[in-house]
Homo-oligomer: A and B are copies of this chain.
Amino acid sequence: MRVLMIGDIVGSPGRKALLEYLPRLKRSHRPDVTVVNGENAADGRGITRGIAREFFGAGVDCITLGNHAWDKREIFDFIDKEDRLVRPANYPEGTPGRGYTRLTLSRGELVVVSLMGRSFLSSLDCPFRKADDILGRLKGNPAVLVDFHGETTSEKQAMGWYLDGRVSALVGTHTHVQTADERILPKGTAYLTDVGMVGPYDGVLGMNKDLILKKFLTQLPVRFEVGKGRVQFNAVVIDLDPSSGKASRIMRIRIDDDRPWFD
């Protein structure tokens, strides 16, 4: 089973890039399933029902979220009804939406889990114990993909080791910068600290760089906006054996003006 996981889509430049590159990637890589992190899809903050539909219409099978999940308030109107939309599972009991979902694919089942780190982020439930809890409930040994949304490399690496051999793949999101440390951990879990983002190439995490710089330089309140201009596209392709759940290969995809894509 081939999984295509695409990092945080930032604003309309990110959405356009997704619509442009996804069909081309599907043709060349032929993934069985496509998962996208959508927490920044609407103006860099949150996601709307319309955007979620657009993504599903374009061939996305599942959307994961993160700390920005809730920034567009309409999420509360549809997150409970849309079972392909997954928010971090370690938000407290009673949080709208679901923390994992089971996708039935032609080549088997894939469970997609979202978890969020706590280092320099919200005060959530323990993501390690929540992972144990979810894995304990799964029946039929499905393949499992975890999107671990976290700030620090230490928490992400720790989770990778914690779940090695227990999930098919754990990839990070949230820092918006792709890391170069993809590997198959010793017990068979594909790992990458961060997938990176999809959106403006000449911004800061996809946001207008002048505004971010203004913030750092003045320490005054600044209203951030999504950047403009040319884009980057970051993703990862993982091959896994749906019967054993083990990963056999992980390959990063990085497209931008310095690394152009040729079909």
Interface presence of A40 (CB below 8 A): no
* Nearest chain B CB to A181 CB, angstrom units: 5
Question: Are B161 and A204 in contact, with the CB atoms below 8 A?
Answer: yes
- Nearest residue in B to A217 (C-beta to C-beta)? B128
- Smallest CB–CB gap between A177 and chain B, Å? 4
Which of A28-36, A56-64, A151-159 interfaces with chain B? A151-159
A108 near B: Cβ within 8 Å? no
Judge whether B175 and A122 touch: CB under 8 Å. Answer: no
Interface size on A, residues (CB 8 A): 55
Query: Restricting to A171-217, which residues have a CB under 8 Å from any CB of B?
Result: 175-181, 183-184, 186, 193-194, 196, 202, 204-205, 209, 212-213, 216-217
- Interface residue SS majority, chain A: loop
Q: Across the interface, name the chain B residue whose C-beta is closest to A184.
A: B258
B157-A205 in contact (CB<8A): yes
CB atoms of B125 and A153 under 8 A apart: no
Given contacts A92-B218, A153-B176, A177-B179, 13 further A-B contacts (CB under 8 A): A71-B221, A91-B219, A92-B217, A93-B129, A119-B123, A129-B217, A154-B212, A157-B205, A161-B209, A161-B213, A180-B180, A183-B258, A186-B202
Residues of A within 8 A of B (CB): 70-71, 91-95, 118-120, 122-126, 128-129, 151-155, 157-158, 161-162, 175-181, 183-184, 186, 193-194, 196, 202, 204-205, 209, 212-213, 216-221, 252, 254, 256, 258
